Structure 1
Amino acid sequence: MTGVFGDVADLYDDVRPDYPAALADLIRDYHGGTPDTITEIGAGTGKGTAILLRLGAPVTCVEPDPRMTARLTATFPQVHAVTSTFEQWQPPAGGVPLLACALAWHWLDPTTRNPRAHDALTPGGTLAVFGHRYGYADPRQAHAVAAALRAIDPTAQERPTGWFQQDITDSALFTDIHADTIDRDLPLDTESYLRLLRTFGPYRQRSAEQQAQASTALRRLVDDFGGTVVLRLHTTLVLARRPRTDRP
């Protein structure tokens, strides 16, 4: 994930939608109160951090891109920021009571993210993974956008709904796995939609030619839909617990 978003850190922070405030209550209730400390993996510019700070505990943010960290700490100077990948970060002795990851789980090494998260937690500690899935309120818009993007890059694939809950479950390292989803609609005009598009990882990882083609095609589509597209945000929170006694 290092370098993918850093050169658009300000744009990312400006256009990425915030998380529902209700997530903080769901995390607190699951954890059983306010944790002593919180560590966030892949904190970015702090979209998830805003939710975690609502819990009222000190927050450490682990983020590999210093440009993202700079925007994060400008907004939330009270956090302790660590510029590091999750794979290089060393948790404190004894672990952390709450480990969170907002829309960054897919950027972590798939072979180690669950074992590392497990080992970073105190026994009985909480793992909270959350993020948005960007759908469309109008099925016609969803079909048209998908067709346009497939025409530009037929190899592009979307992760299945609920994939990170399944990923955590399949690791067999956690217990008491629970998921909540909050849906809401976000209307965007053409320019706002295209600005948001420029912050998506699949877009940023394409060639300059493919990026230009996507922008042109989607501008035409949104204009044809009257200059507005309505995103349906599916915000999912997956909560899991490190067992208090791990199996030998």
Structure 2
Amino acid sequence: MRKPKRQPPSGRTLARSILCMRETRRRTFDDNAERYAARRPTYPAALYDRMAAYGGLARGARILEVGPGTGQATRALAERGWSVTAVELGAHLAAVARRHTADQPHVDIVTGSFDDWTLPSEPFDAFFCATAFHWLDPATRVERAAASVRVGGTLAIVWTHHVAGGTPGYFTRTQACYKRFEPDAPADFQPPEEQRLPPSTDELGASPLVTDGRATVSPSKSRIRQRSSSTCSGRIRTS
């Protein structure tokens, strides 16, 4: 007997599956916080320079950081003289971040999910999220980020892209490892040239809450391959 043809999942089922996968994956970083802290690269100083210049952020500015992980960027923000409240989903990651910033008196690491975290009554001067914005709820993340800062405040969202350059053949040799955890990963992936990176401002640019969205790129070389940190910034509308 011929087996019945499998029907594709409905839109509602597919949406639930995607949400479940996102929730599961975003929690995996907490499984080994110490190893994550030891291996995770930092960000280039030029990134913070551009954020400061764009937002006019002087010493004492109040920054909300979402998804700080083990505090690689948190410490750099605090060393600028900014007061940082950082909301981290993973309890183990948050514990390492607190240890990493223990000598910074104006850093507060909060354990929780930004998606349902109660925003304080006093808005921040800037919202900062480095390579974690895609883990937030896509239905509410721009609106909640905008609500966290004052009118005219700054949203600074950072993505890290793999780009051509660095160690020759690295991606060819590591695709088997990628496919162990992501079976649909392409076997022949090669990173694009930096000038061919897709735009990262579309989501902010489409929001009526944000104006003056722009993107800048700061090259950064890691130990084994070249990266590119792309910062997407925007200001909260005054009306």
The two structures have a TM-score, normalised by structure 2, of: 0.75
- Partner letter of residue 167 of structure 1? E
C-alpha root-mean-square deviation of aligned residues, in Å? Answer: 2.6
CA distance in 1, matches of 2:135, 2:48: 23
Judged with a 3 Å threshold, the aligned counterparts in structure 2 of structure 1 residues 71 and 138 are, in CA distance, closer, same or farther, namely: closer
Q: Does 1:71 align with 2:71?
A: no
Q: Compare 133-142 and 77-86 and name the one that shifted more.
A: 133-142
Show the counterpart of 2:121. 93
AA of the residue aligned to 1:6: D
Q: 1:141 offset after TM fit, Å?
A: 2.0
Q: Is the 8 A contact 1:183 1:234 kept in 2?
A: yes
What residue in structure 2 maps to residue 6 of structure 1?
A: 30
- What secondary structure is seen at the aligned counterpart in 1 of 2:27? coil
Q: Give the unaligned 5+ runs of structure 1.
A: 189-230
Deviation at 1:169, TM superposition (A): 1.6
The 1-side partners of 2:67 and 2:178 are apart by: 29
Is 2:217 the counterpart of 1:181? yes
Tell me by how many angstroms 1:134 deviates: 2.6
1 CA distance for matches of 2:75 and 2:152?
A: 24
| Residue segments in structure 2 that go unaligned for 5+ positions in a row | 1-22, 190-195
Deviations 1:138-189 (A, max 9, x none): 696266257646865452389x94454222222342111121111233333x
- Give the number of the structure with larger relative contact order, counting CA–CA contacts within 8 Å between residues 6 or more apart: 1
Residue in 2 aligned with 1:62?
87
1:236 is matched with: 230
> How far 1:3 moved relative to its partner?
2.8
Give % identity.
30
Q: Deviation above 3 Å: which 4+ runs of structure 1?
A: 145-154, 160-164
Structure 1 residues 150 and 4: alpha-carbon distance in aligned structure 2, compared to 1, 3 A threshold: closer
Displacement, 1:4? 1.1
The size of the alignment, in residue pairs, is 203
Q: Output the amino acid matched with 2:216.
A: D
Q: TM-score, normalised by structure 1?
A: 0.72
User: Equivalent of 2:112, from 77, 84, 105?
Assistant: 84
